[in-house]
């Protein structure tokens, strides 16, 4: 994190008087006028901040729509290979090494370690009625740790020629909740959005939902 902040000359937004680290903590905790955000959104914000810095340095348009679309393309998730290559070629025409930029994007676990270990920050004990995202933070942190460990194992299998191409393959780790009474299975995100896992056997929908 420190290297990227230095290399990309990153600073906090103009309207914020503190350092970039202070700003990250404020967004994470929900201090001041900020609403608390989880590691996923905070990681996305930081990586797009890096992207924006590079674009401005090379005189490239940095509209929000462009940053959003090209960030997703560089990450390579749910993007067709030829579409990613088109973005990489366009970046190269502006003198930007898109592959190197993508390699510098931080993960949720890296950002989490930076906040919790380097900056020694925590959200403290949360109460049941606190409007916070600490539960999602825990899922995100655990999921990223699990993902990183699996990626290491796949890399080893690839190097041993046990699974050719394992390192280059896309690895997806998702939390799925299953009803013990019927075949219903939903992702964690879906369960949070609808407020239940299975309407028939595990609680009832929120008021106004069917």
Per-residue pLDDT of 112-144, as tens digits, reads 889 988 999 887 644 433 444 567 667 777 777
d(CA 52, CA 125): 35
* Per-residue pLDDT reduced to its tens digit, 26-61: 988 888 777 788 888 899 999 999 999 999 999 999
d(CA 82, CA 97): 17
What tokens were used for 36?
A: 């608390």
pLDDT (mean) for 4-13: 92
What tokens were used for 6?
A: 């230095």
Whole-number pLDDT of residue 11: 92
Confidence of residue 81 (pLDDT cuts 50, 70, 90): confident
d(CA 78, CA 80): 7
Helices (H), the chain: 2-7, 20-29, 39-57, 64-75, 81-93, 98-104, 108-113, 134-159, 188-194
Q: Which residue has the tokens 């680290």?
A: 21
Break the chain into its structural domains and give their ranges: 2-121, 134-169, 174-210
Q: In this structure, are residues 18 and 77 in contact, taking their beta carbons and an 8 Å threshold?
A: no
What tokens were used for 110?
A: 């890296």
d(CA 120, CA 86): 41
Rounded to two decimals, the pTM is 0.61
pLDDT (mean) for 56-81: 90
* Per-residue pLDDT reduced to its tens digit, 134-191: 676 677 777 777 877 888 888 889 888 899 888 887 777 778 889 988 889 888 877 7
d(CA 154, CA 130): 39
């Amino acid at each position: 994190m420190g290297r990227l902040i230095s290399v990309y000359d990153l600073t906090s937004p103009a309207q914020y008087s503190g350092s970039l680290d202070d700003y990250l903590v404020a967004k994470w905790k929900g201090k001041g006028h900020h609403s608390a955000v989880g590691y996923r959104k905070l990681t996305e914000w930081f990586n797009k901040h890096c992207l924006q810095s590079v674009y401005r340095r090379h005189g490239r348009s940095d509209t929000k729509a462009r940053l959003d679309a090209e960030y997703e393309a560089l990450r390579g998730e749910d993007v067709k290979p030829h579409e990613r290559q088109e973005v990489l070629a366009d970046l190269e025409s502006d003198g930007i090494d898109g592959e190197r930029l993508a390699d510098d994007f931080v993960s949720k676990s890296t950002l989490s370690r930076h906040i919790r270990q380097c900056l020694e920050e925590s959200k403290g004990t949360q109460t049941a009625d606190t409007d916070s995202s600490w539960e999602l933070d825990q899922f995100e942190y655990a999921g990223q740790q699990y993902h990183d460990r699996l990626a290491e194992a796949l890399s080893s299998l690839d190097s041993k020629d046990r699974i050719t191409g394992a390192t280059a393959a896309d690895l997806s780790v998702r939390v799925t909740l299953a009803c013990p009474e019927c075949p219903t299975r939903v992702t964690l995100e879906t369960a949070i959005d609808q407020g239940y896992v299975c309407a028939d056997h595990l609680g009832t929908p929120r008021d106004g939902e069917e």
